[in-house]
Structure 1
Amino acid sequence: MNQRATGTHYEQHARRYLEQQAGLTFVAANVHYRGGELDLIMRDEHTWVFVEVRYRKNAQFGSAAESVTPRKQQRLLHAAALWLAQRQQSFDTTSCRFDILAITGEHYDWLPNAFGA
């Protein structure tokens, strides 16, 4: 499986996991902007949830969650701000959060509100 196919596979698993375990509602996947991509956009009642899905086969080189660097967080914040602006919303006018769903091997680790705007 190539890298893109692997990413899509685990994003689909992440979506189902968050729908079943957390009760989130799916909105969109793989939203691309220059300089950033939003893996999953979901809704938790009145809150937009931007989910970064990370997969690692094992923790030999660090956990999947540890791979979300400050630079990656800035790219996600930028992409989310653009997505919200297209809907006449902003971090100041709407409730949103950034979650990480880290998958290491077969272990799922959901980190709600992992970092903020």
Structure 2
Amino acid sequence: MNAVRNAIETLYKGICTVQIWMEVEDPVTHVSSFQEVPLLTKQKCRLSFEKQMTTTNTVGPAVIAQTTKLFIAPELDIPAGSKITVTQEGRTLDFARSGEPAIYSNHQEILLEPFKRYA
């Protein structure tokens, strides 16, 4: 690993698990059902939160947008629609991958949205 990647990874304060929704066959009954299946576990990462300073003009109260970004190793393949559970600074949050990752030589950045359900 190179010095730049080591420096970036010293900023990783979180641990994440990536799960996918897939069909799994019970080995005893041979009945298939959809379940959450871990794809990646205990991966070092970092969440970054950015609040958008502009508000939306609405009839009700002002709405402030927030962008959440995951920083993680570049070689990991996290499919769209995955459930990503991140524990950082004592909080555990569930997200879904949104959009294509920006992959660099030393890390990748993935925009996240709050997890509601599998697509």
TM-score range, shorter chain: under 0.3
What TM-score does the superposition give when structure 2 sets the normalisation length?
0.27
Choose 1 or 2 for highest CA Rg: 2
